[in-house]
Structure 1
């Protein structure tokens, strides 16, 4: 029995209805090729897909950095875009005419992801694009290709209006496809939204700070008014009653040695009442009122709560500038104390207030024609640190303390009109402005 060699059955094509339709490989892999180059193309496609996913992950991590400030947010956004397309330079800019609340207006990322300032060296085409973008003159309908760079321009839009752009300079070897452009558009659009969110966050923080400050001022003002009422209703009335009793005793002791001492006590009592009224006025006064600058406060001081025997004149020199409210209040109190000393202790009939604004300081000087001795007052100031001063000198020590709290100095000298001049020199705060 002869045996025939084993042979494979002939190959037959499968029925037409069972065949895979053309293009099935492209549908499964995303690569339109069945040749030997299929695997490298498939690997490249997978790598690009992973790059896109990685870019989206960086976008999500970038856009949640709102609380770190707009500058850090924008810098991270532009750096993410530059890393995605291997850009040597990247620029994000908003036109000056739009979104005035957004800060910063631009960010530039250079080689190595380093943030650049406008003073740093950079290619002329980057500087030119920045100027045109800020001016709102940059076009986005076409992209330039300047060797060795591929210049990408992605418009930044708000409600269909172009408000700025994301510009990148990537190497020519870096292929840019529609997916990359979509990633960059997402970055550009979401950056503006993130800037808005950051602005709202900062605005909310400022509103909370202002609300807290307003509540603190309300508590302080309430306490000041309470103290003013207590002084008016109790202390002032008690001092007035004491003055009346002194006056009755002085009338009965007329012509004796005790009468002279009672006269002094009467004058001191009257002076205490005047000072209490001045304190009550200061406590009741709203120091934060925008209508009451330091010159206005001093003008009020010359006309209220001062002895009738003292004629006061106010002179303003230089260009007035706003001072912090605390500084104006302290200088107001220094002036009131100096005038009180002139009237009660110096027995002056005339006082001159000079408020002089200079380039870096403000000088408040109170001069009188009284009987005060500058040498004695200066000596009292030198020993004020460790001694219990009498009423005539305690006010002087308080004025010196207030001046030092403001970073200034207090001086005492002979005035040109014959009495004492007390002057306080306070440096102006940098930038000025009412606190």
Structure 2
């Protein structure tokens, strides 16, 4: 050290003393250095034990408390180690206290009515110290105390003393400042580690509960989806049943009108023809009488054939043959073929993607088609009719065109007068069609068809009733 200037040797000596804990100028430097080295090795081992103890946080508070106490017992070579929290502090932390003996056997009195030693060999001073801490008598623990064979340090959290950490060593193990530092490190980290461990355990429980809740929600969502599918299927069945009922009502209405109106007229005409035939046989000469009788016979046969056809149509209308038809195109196809006269050929054409409409809208379109075809068959003298149903993005269009003798201009005038009182009771069917279309925000128009007859055109907005 002679190479170091005199004014620097004092500074160097103080730094070396601070780092090693010995004075380099004395003759016992090496013995003290060996002692310091051993102390440093002990400190390093203690810090290593502390680090291993504190990483037990994720394994739960029980393992953490046991690891901390075990690290202190090994480092201090202690006969007894006590770690305890005062009642009411850190309520989430468990266990609240732990005692280790020299062999590492653990003692805990949680859940026991008293702190009497069940083994009978824990010293009274350890039990008394435990009772002081549990009862919150922490004034004596606010400052660390390091004695020859006993030490205790407070366990602090956010500046408050929440417990204490104490140890007792045998006669050959004298405690020093380094041991006190190790205990303070352990105690200062224990409270935080206990709190973190408790929070971690709570978070694990919350995570498990949330996972169970998510599983339950998924199960409920699956059940709700199944029930929703069942409800939709039931709704479709109800809609189909309602459409069937509406079609049956329409069929029975037409059958009733045919039976009570048209059939009776045809029967009456036949009866009059029969009467005229009898009178003709009596009043005309043979040659002219035979020709007239023959024409009357033809008329009588035609009326009989008409009555038979009407009865057949009435029977078909009152006895539905296909109960599975439910969509509007299917109902229109059935309506167009089941009761039309043989000399009227009806064709149904559907354009666009078929969309399920509310029952009221489908019933309206079905009634309009039935009324228009009835007029075509009874008044238009048509041989051919085309029913077109077009599904458009914003509307549904229904048209009935024929090649008959109807006059569109006259029918349009009747539509304009539809709101006026009907004096003679005729053409109420046309007014009813207009009223039905308007009920759903639609329109009704009569035009000249390309086939030369009349074209009835009804348009209903799609938004008024498309079923999603």
- Please report the TM-score for the alignment, with normalisation by the length of structure 1: 0.48
Q: Which has the larger share of helix?
A: 2
Q: What TM-score results when the alignment is normalised by the length of structure 2?
A: 0.46
